[in-house]
Amino acid sequence: MQPTTHALPHPGVLESHHEELSFWRKYIFATDHKVIGIQYGITGLSFLFFGFCLVALMRWQLAYPGASIPVIGGSLNAILGDAMMNKSPQGGYFMAAELYNAFGAMHGTIMVFLAIVPLAFAAFGNLIVPLQIGAADMAFPRINMASYQAYFMGGVIMLVSFFIPGGAAQAGWTSYSPLASIIATDGQTFWLIGMVFLITSSLLGAVNFIATIIQLRAPGMTWMRLPFFCWAQFVTAFLLLLAFPPLEAAAVMQLMDKVAHTSFFLPTGLVIAGKAAEISGGGSPLLWQHLFWFLGHPEVYVLILPAMGIVCEIIANNTRKPIWGYKSLVYSVLVIGFLSFIVWAHHMYLTGMGTKISTFFQTTTMIISVPSVIILTCLFLSLWGGSIRFNTPMLFALAFLPMFGIGGLTGLPLGFNFSDIHLHDTYYIIAHFHYIVAPGTIFGLFAGIYYWFPKVTGRTMSEHLGKIHFWGSLIFMNLVFLPMFAQGMAGLGRRMYDGGATYANSAETIGIPLDMIHRNVSISHAAWALGLAQIPFIFNFFWSLKHGKKVTSDNHWGSTTLEWQTPTPPPHGNFLKPPVVYRGPYEYSVPGHAQDFTPQNQP
């Protein structure tokens, strides 16, 4: 079988065309989707690391409130200034409350908008989607470049905000007004301007992805022959396209509140620090929450759908059999996309928006869990009877399933207002969505990195280190997040500077059991260990770039989809000759074929 006979002159031709570009055009102002994908990947991974560092420091304050930070406390004080660090009587420095709040808000912002979305959607989407649909590039390469640059600018603005007087935004990644609007420092203003850049970037990216998938599918690549990963990205792009603009509107209005002293989100009679605020009033704090969560809920599917797509590709490839229920997957993802626009107010049960509205959103929330369950079930059933290859990407993909399952199931009690009243704003929420985003989405991303690394670099990552990385991550992820469910159910609130110590067993309040607060210590230890568990990955990643084993085949994993039917790494323009698609995406182990995979472009 010869899916791509690499006739001699073609590759050289393409490469010499490549070499005409200067360094700047090729790597900095690149328009090639693969280079942009790598740019997104590197920037996103850096932000992922930075976001983790913020939380690693916060975990110190939670485990040992008021204890000075070892080793780097002094440097933090030097960098961030006295206003952000408190001097400890025993010597050394510990975090000021303002810094804790800023780190918390920026951890959420950075992880969601600067790490996971850029990685899951933009990096993997850019790298893989055009290849999988058999296109030469994205539909609008220059808009693609602009999208990355807007993202980069947004990131720079967010980073700079740490160093302005008063520090970064402190009102949480949700930035609820009035709190967000009345904190006197400029952190929130920077946050809002940064968000406008990030939203612009996402919008440009979304337009590009949708147009690419609609217009540039190779001949024969019908909708029902599209790999599931492309479907997931397609729906994700629609979510970004339609859900982000309302947040942009909200950001503009909050910016007006900050700089033009309007009162969009500030109510009449607002009192700040004991004094009546000098504002016109008449605004609505609820309005912000509606606009925020109108993005916020679709956004959580933006975080998870691309990871589901990656996992699906890898499961099909490593079970060596077709995905069970491909069509159900496709219809489910479409239904999720649609329904995710009408569930947002399940984040607002405690705002007193009224029982009728509450009932509506409870209903839609329960309905949306159905397609999620269908997807998970299809992926589980796909394992049945497969001769599974347990390589590193597959391990991560397999772990994704139960982890996402835990995250999803624990969402159900949050979807009913009667149980949410107890759980809202506690560590239970933190556990719920981290199960989905951390051992869920991030495992999906790791799986994708191990899986596509050979295609992008021509070398493989070490399986041995990969497995160490996998087991370390899996164990410590659970040690971090599982106890948080218990803490939350015991009433431990989130976003508390001292980790709840103030409320421990206090006589006046309903005391939080001390052992629940003591778990903060073991959780912090697990969190730092989780950080250490990434060292094999970081080493593996860089080492394999130079010294990894060279691939012996363009189709390293014996895959059916088109991205593997190209030279390695794919040249500018991707395919040596325009591919034609003859079959569905997962024709593994087709009876009567010599090989256990039949590429989509094989007649």
Partner 1 sequence: MNTACPATPRILLRKTNLDKPLWEKLFMDIPYIVKPREDTGLYNAKVGIWLFLASEVMLFGALFSSYILLRVGAAAGTWPHGLLNVALGTINTLVLICSSVTVVMSWASLKLGNFGRYRIYQSITLLCALTFLGIKSVEYHDKFNHYEVIQTDGRIVDGHLVERTKDFDLAKKTGAVTLLGHFVEKTEAGAHEATAKHAEHSNITIPVAQIKKMENYGPWHSTYLAIYFTLTGLHALHVFAGAAVIFVIWGPLAGLWKTDPARYTNRIEISGLFWHFVDLVWIFLFPVLYLL
- Does 595 help bind partner 1 (rule: CB under 8 A)? yes
- Choose, by CB under 6 A, the member of 34, 217, 347, 459 that binds ligand HEM: 347
- Does 433 help bind ligand HEM (rule: CB under 6 A)? yes
- Does 429 help bind ligand HEM (rule: CB under 6 A)? yes
- Choose, by CB under 8 A, the member of 64, 140, 360, 543 that binds partner 1: 140
Give me 153's structure tokens: 């600018």
Q: What is the DSSP letter of 388?
A: -
Nearer to Cu ion, 297 or 432 (CB): 297
Give me 68's structure tokens: 């000075």
Number of residues that bind partner 1 (CB under 8 A): 83
- Choose, by CB under 8 A, the member of 98, 186, 299, 554 that binds partner 1: 554
Only one residue has tokens 């009728």, namely: 356
- Does 168 help bind ligand HEM (rule: CB under 6 A)? no
Residues 391-410 that bind partner 1 (CB under 8 A): none
Q: How many CA atoms lie within 13 A of 547 on its CB side?
A: 5
Give the CA distances from residue 44 to residues 17, 152, 462, 533, in Å, rounded to whole numbers and listed in that order.
Answer: 29, 10, 22, 19
Nearer to partner 1, 136 or 590 (CB): 136
Phi-psi region at 388: left, alpha or beta (left = phi > 0; alpha = psi -120 to 50): beta
Residues 286-345 that bind Cu ion (CB under 5 A): 297
Nearer to partner 1, 256 or 545 (CB): 256
Judged by CB under 8 A, the stretch of 167-175, 258-266, 323-331, 521-529 that binds partner 1 is: 258-266
Instruction: State the DSSP H helix or E strand holding residue 544, giving kind and residue range, or none if neither.
Output: helix 535-547
- Choose, by CB under 8 A, the member of 179, 241, 482, 529 that binds partner 1: 241
Judged by CB under 6 A, the stretch of 418-426, 453-461, 478-486, 592-600 that binds ligand HEM is: 418-426
Q: Contact at 8 Å (CB) between 326 and 228?
A: yes
- Does 415 help bind ligand HEM (rule: CB under 6 A)? yes
From the list Cu ion, ligand HEM, partner 1, none, which binds 578 (C-beta under 5 to 8 Å, kind-based)?
Answer: partner 1
Give me 432's structure tokens: 């719920």
Judged by CB under 8 A, the stretch of 226-234, 472-480, 532-540, 555-563 that binds partner 1 is: 555-563
3-state secondary structure 41-73: HHHHHHHHHHHHHHHHHHHHHHHCCCCCCCCCH
Binding mask 263-302 for ligand HEM (x = CB under 6 A): -------------------------------------x--
Residue nearest to ligand HEM (CB): 411
- Does 385 help bind partner 1 (rule: CB under 8 A)? no
Residues 450-509 that bind partner 1 (CB under 8 A): 458
CA 183: distance to chain centroid? 28
- Closest residue by Cα to residue 415 from 500, 349, 334, 488: 349
Instruction: State the DSSP H helix or E strand holding residue 86, giving kind and residue range, or none if neither.
Output: strand 85-87
- Choose, by CB under 6 A, the member of 437, 480, 490, 576 that binds ligand HEM: 437
- Does 411 help bind ligand HEM (rule: CB under 6 A)? yes
- Choose, by CB under 8 A, the member of 541, 564, 586, 588 that binds partner 1: 564
Q: List, as one string, the DSSP characters of 260-273.
A: T---SS--TT-EET
Give me the phi and psi of 533, to 5 degrees please.
-65, -15
Nearer to ligand HEM, 230 or 339 (CB): 339
Q: Report how far residue 547's alpha carbon sits from residue 549's, in angstroms, rounded to the nearest whole number.
A: 6
Binding mask 278-297 for Cu ion (x = CB under 5 A): -------------------x
Judged by CB under 6 A, the stretch of 25-33, 277-285, 320-328, 419-427 that binds ligand HEM is: 419-427
- Does 120 help bind ligand HEM (rule: CB under 6 A)? no
How far from each other are the two terminal CA atoms of the chain, in whole angstroms?
10
Nearer to Cu ion, 297 or 572 (CB): 297
Cα–Cα–Cα angle for 107, 442, 245, nearest 5°?
60
Judged by CB under 8 A, the stretch of 68-76, 81-89, 276-284, 496-504 that binds partner 1 is: 276-284
- Choose, by CB under 6 A, the member of 408, 454, 536, 579 that binds ligand HEM: 408
Buried b (16+ CB within 10 A) or exposed e, 333-363: bebbbebbbbbbbbbbbeeeeeeeebeebbe
Cα–Cα–Cα angle for 47, 458, 562, nearest 5°?
90
Cα–Cα–Cα angle for 66, 72, 78, nearest 5°?
95
- Does 424 help bind Cu ion (rule: CB under 5 A)? no
Contacts of 338 (CB under 8 A, 6+ apart): none
Contact positions vs ligand HEM (CB under 6 A): 174, 300, 303-304, 346-347, 365, 369, 372, 408, 411-412, 414-415, 420, 423-424, 429, 432-433, 436-437
Contact positions vs Cu ion (CB under 5 A): 297
